Structure 1
Amino acid sequence: MKLQKPSLSFWQIFNMNIGFLGIQYSFGLQQTAINPIFLYLGAPEDMLPILNIAGPVTGLIVQPVIGALSDKTWSNRWGRRKPYFLIGALLGSLTLFAFPHSPVLWFAVGLLWILDVGNNMAMEPYRAFIGDKLPEKQLSLGFQMQSLFVGAGILLANGSIVLFQYLFGGESLESGIIPQWLYYSFFIGAFLSLATILWSVLKTPEIPPSEKEVLEINKIKSLPLGHKFRKPFLEIMGSIKVMPKFMWKVGAVYLFQWYALFIYWQFTTPLFKLTMGYSTSEAASQAAKMSLTYNIVTMLVALALVPLTIRFGGKKVYALSLVGTAIALFTIPYISDPLFVLAPMVLFGIGWAAMMGIPYTMVSKIVPQDKRGVYMGILNMMIVIPMGIQTLTFGPIYKYLLDGNAINAMLFAGVFFAIAAFLAMRLNEKTKG
């Protein structure tokens, strides 16, 4: 019998999602500050994709495994998803505190690996957490609330970078030394990563498992250690074999969408060095302002997308948002004014709000309740696989096919967003097939 979940108030949904603020603040630093740090420490531009391989690799392994484990976890004290939130947040917090102290490039790259493990441990169960707690009629609000906090977290991260550079900046960033003003943003992230997760953990009780689920969980606890280790991997493979066709179609959209997003995040700073003649410091600051702009838009429109998706369907709203993102990337390389170049970020912000909410809502409605964690993990595999492909392939593409030109890189990403929009129109929400 299907569990009838009570509807939650707006503020209950708000509180259960506040932990996403800290996770996305950390993600915002990865988008805007990590690649400039690599450049400060001497990384060549064509090496940026491969230096970001940590995200795809850890996401590919950690998210589905944690999803499978959390499906089969229950503690009367800590719950099902919360233990993974807390461990991931603590790991991320410690790494963010250490990151700006990186003395050399290899040290910073190593910390990125640890940071990505922590963020993935916290993020994946959070997606399943929404599906666990909310009835179907509130799923759109729940995931779009997460989208709002995506915007808020990244907004705070980039706002802090711009603010602290304005207050304490001025030193040269071409000497291989990470500037002191950048430290403060990472220290704030270290605090928020843990504090916001604790807020959600303390404010939101989890729904206990059914008797059938408890029996399954206890059965797994009694297995030998080797069997326990293999269990989540077998769970993932078995779930992929019977995965709804709809999820394969989402995977096709994600292939182009996330490949393009990784290009945008990696090459915004090199783009502004080329189109505006900026130093690394100035280009990184402009990239932060771009991120500020589109995440403000994301915050403003995230919840507004809920009635639009109800009226017109998630597929149409999602596809149209991807078209807008493509237009934004086609436009950015041809604007040399640092103020006017913020205008395309309105379209990018609408697209980002849709990307971070609508697909999760659609998938959560069609996957089995007792496998929501593993399927959310598989959905996130569909994010990191394109990222992994991008990190391995785009360096040579950029160097040899695109003539090492950041303008061409941004246009390339725009084409991929246009393809993603076309594929999004193939998503049929009415069936599980």
Structure 2
Amino acid sequence: MEKPRQGFAGLWNISFGFFGIQIGFALQNANMSRIFQSLGEDIEKLPGLWVAAPLTGLLVQPVIGHLSDRTWLGRLGRRRPYFLAGAILAAIALFAMPESPSIWFAAVMLWLLDASLNISMEPFRAFVGDMLRKDQHSAGYAVQTAFIGAGAVVGSLFPSVMEAFGVANVAPPGQIPETVRYAFWFGGAALLLSVLWTVVSTDEYDPARMAAFETAGDAVELPPMRALASHSYAASFGWIAAGVVVALVQIRLGLLREVLLLGALLAGYGLASMLAIALARRGSSTNMLSSIVGDFSGMPALMKRLAIVQFFSWSALFVMWINTTPIVAQYHYGTRDAASAAYQEAANWVGELFAIYNGVAAIAALTLLPWLARRLGQARTHMTGLACGAAGYASFFVLRDPMHLIVSEIFIGIFWASVLAMPYAILASSLPQAKLGVYMGLFNVFVVIPQLLVATVMGSVMQAFFPGEPIYTMAFAAVTLMVAMIAMTSVAAMLPRRD
């Protein structure tokens, strides 16, 4: 049995909530370093404060994916309860963030905000697969990417728009400018209203209809306990040992304390996998831990190869989000003083630059990428996008006029569109429908693990090799995208020429 074909209105309604979610992410990405520095934090410590974002994604997304696969709340449905709950919590965090009295309060609000955005975002990825037939997956993710770009443009530009209307863009030391305060309040309201639009305007297929849509190729063991029970504990001990080694290196070399968190997470996963294997061997077939660990270890081969590409792609993106504001302020506006008017002007320009790359992404997702995919295939189109991103990051070393950075953002926008659309379009049609939520959540682990790695390690790297020179992080980002492009060749080898 085939799912009904969705028209333009259906594609719009399915993904419109992402418009508001991305407003929240854009405000976070463009302004959190500014907020932390405005509250008095040193630039080398920014990655450690940003650790909240990837850590919450790492913990939340697989859990929400697992739960949403198994949820049905009557009229609210399967995925929509998570859209709504996450939107309410994220709106609260956005309203509270500009009132932060201290760096630590802001860090806690960032933790709440990112966790809430992930609660809403992860089911939206699976929602496209739930609601659309396979031949519409590419169109569905393209529309979703367009809304991501549009929401990011609005969120990135709002502080500059407020300044144009006379709102104060400079605040005394230790305080957050009014432009940022109003932007976060607007973002909270926009996020909640846009998610409500999707909740109200869509009707999910109930479990009986979803079962009727399943094909023989979708049948999977739920959960793969037999395979997990056959695993030895050797890999688990390996993860624990890796965590111990990281901790010892941190102590021996005097690295930033955030590196200890990385070690704790490695050891924690080892302990969790040991427990999951033990539960599977005892025949426990309903526990969430064994289900998630089993699904993680049994990912399809194509998903594993795409995961490597995601790892390197998102490492570069997180470097950009953390460091663009201090880079532009220092190298293009000549200031390191977060309380100066020049710094705040640079921060607003970064917001506009982020709006440009997101606007380019929205347009490219509906025009350039489909055109390239028809001629090159989805895998090679993504390789082209990765090359564009590497060129965009490298250009920061060459371009010194702030206006010329628009060229950099055009290349980065093409890359961003490709990251948001191509891997999911490739993956969605190859995953079993019954596990779409948990597999999308696990796939997004490879979005947040590199962010966590950057957040815990990059500060120590900066202190050791280029203290006070954040522009060299852009070289790191360009190199990682070239590595991602090479890794993408193994994905292309698994797909037809015109995939």
- Report the TM-score, using the length of structure 1 for normalisation: 0.93
Of 305, 318, 328, which residue of structure 2 is paired with 1:249? 305
> 1:183, CA displacement in angstroms?
1.2
Map of 1:396 onto structure 2: 460
Of 341, 362, 386, which residue of structure 2 is paired with 1:322? 386
Of 265, 286, 307, which residue of structure 1 is paired with 2:349? 286
Map of 1:351 onto structure 2: 415
Map of 2:432 onto structure 1: 368
* Deviation digits for residues 14-55 of structure 1 (CA, Å, limit 9, x no counterpart): 111100001000000111011100110011111111101111
C-alpha contact (below 8 Å) 2:168/2:178 kept by paired residues: no
Of 319, 330, 336, which residue of structure 2 is paired with 1:274? 330
Identity over aligned residues, as a percent? 35
Map of 2:321 onto structure 1: 265
* Deviation digits for residues 171-220 of structure 1 (CA, Å, limit 9, x no counterpart): 64461110112111111111111111111111111111138969xxxx99
> 1:228, CA displacement in angstroms?
11
Q: Distance in 2 between matches of 1:71 and 1:25?
A: 26
AA matched with 1:386: P
- For structure 1, which runs of at least 5 residues remain unmatched after alignment? 221-226
1:405 aligns with 2:469: yes
Of 289, 296, 309, which residue of structure 1 is paired with 2:359? 296
Q: Distance in 1 between matches of 2:169 and 2:375?
A: 52
> 1:167, CA displacement in angstroms?
2.4
Is the alpha carbon distance of 1:11 and 1:273 closer, same or farther for their aligned partners in structure 2, counting shifts above 3 Å? same
C-alpha contact (below 8 Å) 1:59/1:384 kept by paired residues: yes
Q: Distance in 2 between matches of 1:253 and 1:22?
A: 27
* Deviation digits for residues 116-169 of structure 1 (CA, Å, limit 9, x no counterpart): 111010000000000001111100010111111111111000111111123235
Map of 2:88 onto structure 1: 90
C-alpha contact (below 8 Å) 1:24/1:150 kept by paired residues: yes
> 1:230, CA displacement in angstroms?
6.9
Secondary structure of 2:78's partner?
Answer: coil
Q: Distance in 1 between matches of 2:450 and 2:171?
A: 32
Map of 1:423 onto structure 2: 487
Secondary structure of 1:426's partner?
Answer: helix
Map of 1:105 onto structure 2: 103
* Deviation digits for residues 80-110 of structure 1 (CA, Å, limit 9, x no counterpart): 0000000000000111111101111100000
Report which stretch shifted further, 46-55 or 305-314: 305-314
Q: CA RMSD in A?
A: 2.1
Secondary structure of 2:75's partner?
Answer: coil
- Report the TM-score, using the length of structure 2 for normalisation: 0.81
> 1:417, CA displacement in angstroms?
1.3
* Deviation digits for residues 360-396 of structure 1 (CA, Å, limit 9, x no counterpart): 1111111111000000000111111111111111101
C-alpha contact (below 8 Å) 2:169/2:344 kept by paired residues: no
Map of 2:35 onto structure 1: 37
Of 289, 294, 303, which residue of structure 2 is paired with 1:238? 294
Q: Distance in 2 between matches of 1:387 and 1:212?
A: 35
AA matched with 1:267: N
Map of 1:223 onto structure 2: none
* Deviation digits for residues 288-347 of structure 1 (CA, Å, limit 9, x no counterpart): 111011111111111122343243211101011110110011012322212111111111
AA matched with 1:188: F
* Deviation digits for residues 58-97 of structure 1 (CA, Å, limit 9, x no counterpart): 1111111000000011122110000000000000011111
Map 1:153-232; keep pairs closer than 5 Å.
Answer: 153-170=151-168, 172-173=170-171, 175-210=173-208, 231-232=287-288
1:379 aligns with 2:377: no
- For structure 2, which runs of at least 5 residues remain unmatched after alignment? 213-221, 224-282, 336-341
Map of 2:237 onto structure 1: none
Secondary structure of 1:210's partner?
Answer: helix
